[in-house]
Amino acid sequence: MKWRAVAINTFKEVMRDKIFYNLLIFALILIGGSILLATLTLGEQSKIIMDFGLASINLFGVLMAIFLGVSLVSKEIEKRTLYTVLSKPIGRTEFLLGKYAGLLLTLLVNTSIMIAGLYLTLMLNQFRWGLPVLSVEPRLVEAVFMIYLELCLMTAVALLFSTFTTTTLAAMFTLSTYLIGHISANLLAMSEKFAVRSTALLVKVIYYTLPNLSNFDIKGQVVHKVPIEPSYFLLTSAYAVLYITLLIGTAAFIFKRRDF
């Protein structure tokens, strides 16, 4: 269970970093502040809060996944802390898995605090308008579950890049993957109209190679009470697990062959 020691150490590292708290506090202020924004609308206050809150959870989660994720391994290499760890009887793959698990735990704590903040804001809003405090949308958890899956995937992307490049480049590559991953479905739809066949082919390659992150975005459906089939959650989870396995596998393959 050496990976567990690495995971706990990674968790401690983030928890003792001021940046983590700065980001978290900023996210909570934004979620709580949505109550003020909601006063601009009539009758749809809770929807505005939910919309704004879920978007904040997603944004800050992704920021943490990318910026903490890319530094997972590259910081260990740059700071040479890796030398001591890898000279111990721990396999390189086990070390990578430990780092990954540690960050997933951090993101779970972070996301849980943010959703608690969102529910608190919604309850406060209900109280303010004299509505039953506990009658808040329970399906927010569904949206946050999908956000968390997306974060797990983005962390794996960040981890892969951090095994063979510098922190800055890995952050740029991961951010690009995130942006393309969100528009690739739209690009594919547009590609039907491209006159140049090679461009259409390129878009298809991008679509099938990079993760399709729009699969994880069900915020609109949840806020507007559109039902989602359980099979959708199952399939999307399977997609995430498969993609993550491939990413971590590739990261391990590269990491095992590196000289330090």
Shorter beta-carbon distance to other proteins: residue 89 or 227? 89
The helix (run of H) or strand (run of E) holding residue 195 is none
Q: Closest distance between other proteins and the C-beta of residue 91, in Å?
A: 5
Match 């109550």 to its residue by tokens: 35
Residues 55-94, one symbol each (x = binds other proteins by CB under 8 A, - = not), give ------------------------xxx-xxxxxxxxx---
260 binds other proteins (CB under 8 A): yes
Give the 3-state secondary structure of residue 92: helix
Which CB sits closer to other proteins, 13 or 51? 13
Q: Which of residues 16-35 bind other proteins (CB under 8 A)?
A: 16-17
| C-beta closer to other proteins: residue 2 or 139 | 2
Minimum CB–partner distance for residue 255 and other proteins (Å):
12
Is residue 74 a contact partner of residue 260, using CB atoms and an 8 Å limit? Answer: no
By CB under 8 A, the residues from 230 to 259 that bind other proteins are 259
Among residue numbers 187 through 226, which ones bind other proteins (CB under 8 A)? none
Q: Round to whole Å and give the CA distance between 182 and 210.
A: 10
At a CB cut-off of 8 Å and minimum separation 6, what does 247 contact?
153, 156, 157, 159, 160
Distance CA 230, CA 35 (A): 31
Can you tell me the distance from the alpha carbon of 143 to that of 189, in angstroms, rounded to the nearest whole number? 25
CB of residue 65 vs other proteins: minimum separation in angstroms? 20
Cβ proximity to other proteins, 106 vs 184, nearer residue: 106
Q: Is residue 24 within 8 Å of residue 113, measured between CB atoms?
A: yes
Question: Phi-psi category of 180—alpha, beta or left, where left has phi over 0 and alpha has psi -120 to 50?
Answer: alpha
Rule CB under 8 A: which residues touch other proteins? 1-2, 4-6, 9, 12-13, 16-17, 79-81, 83-91, 259-260
